[in-house]
């Protein structure tokens, strides 16, 4: 695990409730491509169900991180691509199962017109840093 410093509220910046404004890290960078709600056979999980899709996406993120020798504690940045901002509570609930509030990374949420297939409600990518 790399040494991470999380700064949820830099001086003069309104405090963040659901993310850290700044995360600094030293070590080896791990980039995880946007993950979708697909099971290991390529089947969609939770069609029409944001909570089920979010849980699957975070499971996939965890598998990808482990394959790189990283874990959720090493994540410095998450980007949520959602077809509807109403899905954010489901994503936050799934995230909370893997990242406690005292170790939140920097996070961006972007609403998009569509993802690669219309069944997908979200895609989430991660950046992590592990000891060199």
Q: What is the pTM of this model?
A: 0.89
Q: How many domains does the chain have?
A: 1
Residue 125: which domain range?
3-130
Q: Give the E-state strand segments of 8-92 in sequence order.
A: 22-26, 28-35, 75-82
Nearest residue to 34 via CA among 2, 64, 55: 64
pLDDT digits (tens, 9 = 90+) for 28-67: 999 999 999 999 999 999 999 999 999 999 999 999 999 9
pLDDT digits (tens, 9 = 90+) for 67-80: 999 999 999 999 99
CATH number of the domain at 38, please.
Answer: 3.30.1330.40
List phi, psi (to 5°) of 109: -125, 130
Q: Is the dihedral of CA 81, 54, 98, 74 positive or negative?
A: negative
CB atoms within 10 A of CB 20: 20
Half-sphere CA count of 68, side-chain side, radius 13 A? 24
Residue 18 has pLDDT above 90, yes or no: no
CB atoms within 10 A of CB 88: 18
Residue 105, C-beta contacts closer than 8 angstroms, at least 6 positions apart: 6, 19, 20, 23, 75, 76, 77, 78, 99, 127
Give the integer Cα–Cα distance in Å for 116 and 78.
19
């Amino acid at each position: 695990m790399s040494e991470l410093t999380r700064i949820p509220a830099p001086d003069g910046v309104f405090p963040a409730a659901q993310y850290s404004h700044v995360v600094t890290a030293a070590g080896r960078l791990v980039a995880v491509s946007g993950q979708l709600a697909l099971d290991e056979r390529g089947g969609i999980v939770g069609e029409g169900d944001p909570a089920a899709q979010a849980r699957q996406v975070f499971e996939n993120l965890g598998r990808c991180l482990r394959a790189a020798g990283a874990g959720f504690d090493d994540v410095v940045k998450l980007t949520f691509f959602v077809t509807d901002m109403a899905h954010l509570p489901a994503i936050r609930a799934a995230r909370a199962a893997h990242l406690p509030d005292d170790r939140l990374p920097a996070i961006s949420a972007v609403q998009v017109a569509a993802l690669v297939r219309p069944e997908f409600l979200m895609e989430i990518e991660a950046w992590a840093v592990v000891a060199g």
